[in-house]
Amino acid sequence: MKLSTPLALLALVPLVTQVSAGIVPRQNRGGNNGGGNNGGNFGGANKGGAANGGANANNGGAANGGAANGGANNNNGGANNGAAGNNSTDTGANNGAAGNATDTGNNNGDPQTSLTLDPRVIAKGFANNGQDVPTAGQVASLTSTNNFINFCLTVPNLPLTNGQQIPGGSCNPAPIGAIPSSDKMPSSKFTNPKNGDTIPADQAFTISMAINNLETGNFVNANENYFSAPQQLSSSGLIVGHSHVVVEQLDSLAQATPTDPKKFAFFKGLNAAAANGVLTADVTNGLPAAAYRLCSINAAANHQPAIVPIAQHGSLDDCVYVSFLVGLTLCLAK
């Protein structure tokens, strides 16, 4: 049967299509089902925004910062922060940023499980090194445009703190957290012993300390959760935490050289909630005759020092200097 020229051309179209499909590699075998990657796959920048429903295996597309989710890239908001793929000068800054205006690109809508930094919590002030108004002796601040989320990569010689107490040093990725108002900064004052007291050596005594503006009685596992969570505030705006008391032996009350923080005569976590605003610690065996410094260490629940909102403030802790002598009768006020 003789075909006309137009009909012959139509008959060849399916053949050409099949041959082309066999020769041209398919770049989207990962299945970007959202459809937004058809324009942005060349550099992996995801300019279509809300796509990335699949594995994103296009040119450079797997390098998306959001693709840290095992390559599955389920961040439907398209918040791929590191995309710059091959064959493109695009920086991967997600020019279609979060195609769904209300979707921030968080896994399942939960920002606390997402591996993507939510743009709403980026502190733009962190990009300023503070030297716009120079002051004598003032140094430039370290800067960041992503909240220092990968800061620990800058100190590869240090392990992550990872909830552990690491004597050799570490890098902790947890943020500082919630900071109280200036009228709710914690403070403490020893009520027993008092500064300058003379105490019988080697006899049991009780340390007592008044505490203010600290939601006491809150401490986590110090061996597994050390510094592993941000500072938190109670419903009344107080730091959720606990306190400690440490006693260090001195050469004399007139000692002028700094003490060694690794050495102490007595240490006790004041883990119970304060009773009528007072915390206590029993020193059951007393202390040998010597001069001592007693100090408090007020802390948040994960054992980090209390963080407050202003630089100029009174001490959050208290210290007293006392002497323990042999042959005295215990006469401390209770």
User: Taking the CB of residue 250, how many other CB atoms lie within 10 A of it?
Assistant: 17
Mean local confidence (pLDDT), 205-227: 99
List of residues 6+ apart from 19 with CB closer than 8 A = none
Query: What's the pLDDT at 78?
Result: 38
Domains of the chain, earliest start first = 1-116 (no CATH), 182-325 (2.60.40.10)
Q: What is the pTM of this model?
A: 0.68
Confidence of residue 329 (pLDDT cuts 50, 70, 90): low
Task: Name every residue whose Cβ is closer than 8 Å to that of residue 32 and which is 6 or more positions away in sequence.
Answer: 38, 41, 51, 52, 53, 54, 56, 58, 61
Output the pLDDT for position 327. Answer: 76
Given pLDDT bands bounded at 50, 70 and 90, which one contains residue 46? very low
User: How much is the mean pLDDT over the chain?
Assistant: 78
The set of residues, in sequence order, having a beta carbon less than 8 Å from that of 27 and lying 6+ positions away, is 41, 57, 58, 59
Within 13 Å of residue 66, how many CA atoms lie on the same side as its CB? 35
> What is the pLDDT confidence band of residue 109, given thresholds at 50, 70 and 90?
confident
More reliable by pLDDT, 330 or 19: 330
Checking if the pLDDT of 104 tops 60, the result is no
**Residue 328 pLDDT class (50, 70, 90 cuts):** low
130 φ/ψ angles, rounded to the nearest 5 degrees: 80, 5
Helix (H, G, I), strand (E, B) or coil at 298: coil
User: What are the tens digits of pLDDT across the range 235-280?
Assistant: 999 999 999 999 999 999 999 999 999 999 999 999 999 999 999 9
The pair of structure tokens assigned to 173 is 């990725």
Q: What is the 8-class DSSP label of residue 306?
A: P
Helix H or strand E segment including 300: strand 299-300
d(CA 42, CA 10): 32
Q: Each residue of 47-83: pLDDT tens digit? A: 433 334 333 334 333 334 333 333 333 443 333 443 3
Give the residue-averaged pLDDT of 309-330: 91
Q: Is the pLDDT of residue 233 over 90?
A: yes
The DSSP output letter for 12 is H
**Mean per-residue pLDDT for 223-227?**
99
pLDDT of amino acid 107: 57
Where does the pLDDT of residue 312 fall: very low under 50, low under 70, confident under 90, or very high at 90 and above? very high
